[in-house]
Amino acid sequence: MNLAVVGTGYVGLVSGTCFAELGNHVICVDKLEEKVDQLNRNEIPIYEPGLEELVRKNKDAGRLVFTTNLTQAVKEADIIVIAVGTPETETGAANLSYVYAVAEEIGEALDGTFKVIVNKSTVPVGTAEEVEKIVRRKKPEVNINVSSVPEFLREGSAVHDTFHPDRVVIGTSSEKAASMLKELHLPLTENIVLTDSRSSEMIKYASNAFLATKISFINEIANICDLYEADVHAVAKGMGLDHRIGPKFLHAGIGYGGSCFPKDVKALKYLAEEKGYQPNILQAVNDVNEIQSRRMVEHLDRIFDGDISGRTIAVLGLSFKPKTDDMREAPSVKIIQDLIKQGATVRAFDPVAKENAKQMLPDEVEYVDSALTAINGADAAFLVTEWDECKSLTPKQWKDSLKQPVVVDGRNALDKESLKAEGIIYHGIGRK
């Protein structure tokens, strides 16, 4: 098929590249000329394992093109995918200005042939209908269908997730559009949920909100474990063996971040409140996550009797999760701000997110090029993001490098017993 993908962020770039790998002809469109030039030089603006090789391969094969010319891309496409950002506003609602602007441009570019317009951006319920109205205001007799096919990609494994989806959700009112979209996605999976666009849009929000709920729930349990000297690892294992619960997303720590969970929980909460319904569970999920990252500093306060002024704290990991350079809603930001506010010196390491972090963190932060350098001579170390380089430090390296043998494990990713055996003061989240 011929696809136009509008937007070359995480969703658009990964989706467009992977659809090209399946044999489709894909034109990726972006308004930023410098970004398009960068992609045409095979320079990838995001860190995503496996993506650069796929971009290069499919560009060389002539299946993947990058351009600023939306009009030409729309004219050549059977399916037009909208994959632009929907950032959070001050109220928690999704900002749809980019989606609607693209809809207007698509409307101006359409000819008389049938086109399927796909909302792949995460959008509020009813957005597909609104996009269709905008397009038809430009060309009332246009032959289109606007459908919703939400993405379920995890940063750091987005290429894998595209090729191995748990399911594909297609929300449409058109049999012809449904047939085309099923044909496009059948090489990926036969687990296709066919529904209306409003239900499809709600599936995306509900899925992310539920996963965020599991994270906040186990973090709440971890906090209670701390009070009663229970071990949340044992608790989570015992819970997860119940097939009704399952083990995934029951990993206690310092909370979720990134571009999806924080924004989507707030956006769904806003949608409910717009209709006069108070979603108490969503409010609690958000509240627990807002304060969870600060528990790392609380552990440090207990160890040093509330005075960390003048102490050097090593912060290992800055991105919100491993295998990405994304700093959006990263717990490291609040943690480092709190440390500096209390007078501590922060020495930070992250293998890929340093440049993005510099734009969000105080100027006082010192950045180093290895985990071992970060902990050398530090009064304490925080494991914030469980990068392999950070997890692979041996108990002896921790002991020999730290000025004082204090490790606060915000991801519960280190071997507690081996560290304690080396004489290290170890604090995890809910780790007894």
Task: Give the per-residue pLDDT at 69.
Answer: 97
* CA pair distance 311, 212, nearest whole angstrom: 34
Active-site residue numbers?
Answer: 260
Residue 360 phi, psi dihedral angles, 5° rounding = -120, -15
Given pLDDT bands bounded at 50, 70 and 90, which one contains residue 325? very high
Average pLDDT over residues 208-212: 98
- Per residue in 228-278, pLDDT (tens digit) is 999 999 999 999 999 999 999 999 999 999 989 999 999 999 999 999 999
- pLDDT of res. 112: 85
Measuring CA to CA, which residue among 7, 10, 130 is closest to residue 66? 7
Q: What is the pLDDT of residue 196?
A: 98
Q: Residue 332: which of 286, 386, 388, 293 has the closest Cα?
A: 293
pLDDT at 432 over 90: no
The predicted model gives 402-417 an average pLDDT of 96
Mean pLDDT value of segment 109-125: 94
pLDDT of residue 341: 95
Could you give the 3-state DSSP secondary structure of residue 6?
strand
pLDDT of residue 387 exceeding 90, the answer is yes
Q: Which of 237, 257, 253, 233 is nearest to 245 (CA)?
A: 237
For residue 234, give the amino acid letter.
Answer: A
In this prediction, residues 346-361 reach a mean pLDDT of 97
Name the percent of the chain lying above pLDDT 70: 100
Cα–Cα distance between 114 and 127 in angstroms, integer?
20
- Are 55 and 15 contacting, i.e. CB atoms less than 8 angstroms apart? no
> In 22-126, which ranges are continuous DSSP H helix?
33-40, 51-60, 70-76, 97-109
pLDDT tens readout for residues 168-205: 999 999 999 999 999 999 999 999 999 999 999 999 99
Cβ 124 vs Cβ 147: under 8 Å: no
